[in-house]
A = this chain, B = another copy of it.
Amino acid sequence: MAQRVIKEIIDQQKIGPGYFKLVIKVPEIVAQAKIGQFVHIKWVAEDSGADPLLRRPISLNRINPAEGTMTLVYRVVGRGTKVLSKLTAGDKLDIMGPLGTGFSISEDTNRVLVIGGGVGIAPLYPLVNELVKQNKEVILLLGAESAEEVIDLSSFEEFDLELKVATMDGSLGREGFVTDYLAELEQEIDYIYTCGPMPMMKVIRDWAIDSNVAGQASLEERMGCGTGACLSCVCQVKIDGKDGWTYKKACTAGPVFPLREVIFDE
């Protein structure tokens, strides 16, 4: 059951250009958190007024029930994340979570493709960890602007999996889009998981449809409440029926949706 707690930050580090990793102890939330879920957070500072007003949704990057901690990895893109990046150990965070419907892993899949792009790599660590634990054969494709922005690279390298990296500036792995690897996949795969920029996920979805492979995608949409009440976070998802699609709430039905059913702003 999701709840709201206010807790002190244990640690915050800059981990790349505009990338930050924040650790916080919230046993209540961690105990229930599942892979692919997120928290809806707000910094608590002495002069926190009503500006900025809203919470910010951030995925769980590490879920550590033993220690009761969770890690969030985020990129500074606007005011809210900027404020967040200035907080240090001891500062407080107001957290709602765990929220949403995360990734699910089917027993029937064996060879699994995981593709992350940019900050979209953040929620993939717990997923990959679980896939490996369940002895799936994992092919992990990571894309980013530059080597410094490939989140959790060293952690992924410790797993027994096939790892390929593409960077736009060529500073690590192949130069170009991570999706360029798709055409070269040598083995059949059973399932795809992806999180990253919309254009990337669109390419992957089209490939998945062509290749007849099912999968899951984690989406982003602006959120008000985070609990399903405000209907601001809806995503277009295909369904059978009159119009062929419906709006589903990213904060409750998502953020993870069936890859091939997602309609990306088209």
Residue of B nearest to A85 (CB): B46
The CA of A46 and the CA of B52, in the complex, are separated in Å by 12
Tell me which residues across on chain B come within 8 A of A49, comparing CB atoms: 49-52, 79
- A47 located at the interface, meaning its Cβ lies under 8 Å from any Cβ of chain B in the complex: yes
B-side contacts of A83, CB under 8 Å: 46-47
Q: How far is the CA of A79 from the CA of B79 in the complex (A)?
A: 22
Copies of this chain present in the complex amount to 2
| Contact assessment for A47 and B45 in the assembled complex, using a CB-CB cutoff below 8 Å | yes
Chain B residues within 8 Å of A106, by CB: none
Q: Give A87 Cβ to nearest chain B Cβ, in Å.
A: 8
Residues 21-65 of A contacting B (Cβ, < 8 Å) = 43, 45-52
Residues 73-89 of chain A, each 1 if its beta carbon lies under 8 Å from chain B, else 0:
00000010011001000
13 extra A-B contacts, CB within 8 A, seeds A46-B86, A49-B50, A49-B79: A43-B47, A45-B46, A45-B47, A46-B83, A47-B47, A47-B48, A47-B52, A47-B83, A47-B86, A49-B49, A49-B51, A49-B52, A51-B51
Closest 8 CB pairs of A and B: A49-B51, A46-B86, A47-B83, A51-B51, A50-B51, A45-B47, A46-B83, A49-B52
16 contacts between A and B (CB under 8 A): A43-B47, A45-B45, A45-B46, A45-B47, A46-B82, A46-B83, A46-B86, A47-B47, A47-B48, A47-B52, A49-B49, A49-B50, A49-B51, A49-B52, A50-B51, A51-B51
